[in-house]
Amino acid sequence: MSDFQILLFYKYVYIQDPVATRDWFVGLSTKYNLKGRSIVATEGINFTFEGKTQDTEDFLIEMQKDERFQHIHFKRSKGDGNSFPKLSIKVREEIVTGNLGVCDVNPNEVTGKHLPPKELHEWIHGAASAQGSGAPKKEFYIIDMRNAYEHKVGKFAGSITPELHNFRDLPHIIKSIAHLKNKTVVTVCTGGVRCEKASGYLITQGFNDVYQLDGGIVSYMEQFPNEDFEGKLYVFDNRVMMGFYTDDPKHKVIGKCDYCGTTSEQYINCENKKCNKHILMCDDCQAKSIAKHGKKVCLDGCHADHSFNGGWRVSIFWSKIKKIVASFNKSTSGEKK
């Protein structure tokens, strides 16, 4: 057993005083020497912690003495003690930022049906047909509700991966999957928290048969490593990506270097502090970058040197602004004369 363990869990439950609850969790986490990144909101909690294995288990025992935090699906994985630099527990408006406004959903009132990993596995592999029952293989569609940079390195084979840049983009991708409103759909995400709202939102938008993968992708990977979910799972800590038995020949690398297209599972942040872009970069391209620039930076020019509309360089943009200001100053100076 690893000396360290990572806990991933959430619960949509009414929190009357998020600040007081945050302070209680800070005290409890500090007591057991846990580090991590967590959110408390009126609508619930969303936590990821790392600590010594026994400390994390003792933390859970004490936490569950509060009836609000019982009946939670805890996801456990091996840690190394360095997944988080410190403890951070913040109070936010939502435990996953969706900004759905008047279209927001309460997962305790409307959410997709929870589908255990074992059942999804049976759906994928057509268990009924394999047993000779004569039943046709179930028609269903897996919709990945994670960000685009997450499913670049890992996703279910044949899944639908809408172009989400963050969870707030959810309303904008509905049109691209509207043809599935009368089909069976299964939403998937890392640990399940995003799918609670995403699946509920699909129901409010007219989708008639909506499921969500119970426990998220991490639970499926744990039960069925290197089956169906290809690549690695992107995670929001210093590990960046995780997998199970990745030295197994069945493990498939699906990530590709952003610059040369070589298979790669190495996400780095551009070392240009004004850029910090998250990029997939293979060893060879990293070496080229270091040789040319002395550090690992975007090989096609840092996005700090581009605006996000049309690819104009920021330097050119500011040059135009300076000319406009200079022209204005000159004209006003002339008026004063």
Question: Among all chains, which residue has been given the structure tokens 């990144």?
Answer: 37
Report the distance separating Cα 180 and Cα 209, nearest Å: 9
> In the annotation, is 298 catalytic?
no
Q: 189, 270, 282, 285: which is the annotated catalytic residue?
A: 189
Report the distance separating Cα 211 and Cα 56, nearest Å: 31
Four-point Cα dihedral 149, 154, 156, 162, nearest 10: 10
- Altogether, the residues listed in the chain come to a count of 337
Q: Taking each helix axis as running N to C, give the angle between helix 18-31 and helix 53-63, from 0 to 180 degrees, rounded to the nearest 10.
A: 140
- Collect all residues with Cβ–Cβ distance below 8 Å to 266 and sequence separation of at least 6: 255, 280, 281, 282, 283, 286
What do you get for the CA distance between the two ends of the chain, in Å? 82
Q: In 3D, which of 52, 53, 63, 54 has the Cα closest to residue 9?
A: 63
Q: In 3D, which of 91, 75, 78, 124 has the Cα closest to residue 21?
A: 91
Q: In 3D, which of 265, 287, 318 has the Cα closest to residue 150?
A: 265
Q: Are 11 and 45 in contact (CB under 8 A)?
A: yes
CA distances from 203 to 65, 109, 191, 315 (A): 34, 11, 20, 46
Tokens of 238: 């210093």
**Catalytic amino acids?**
189
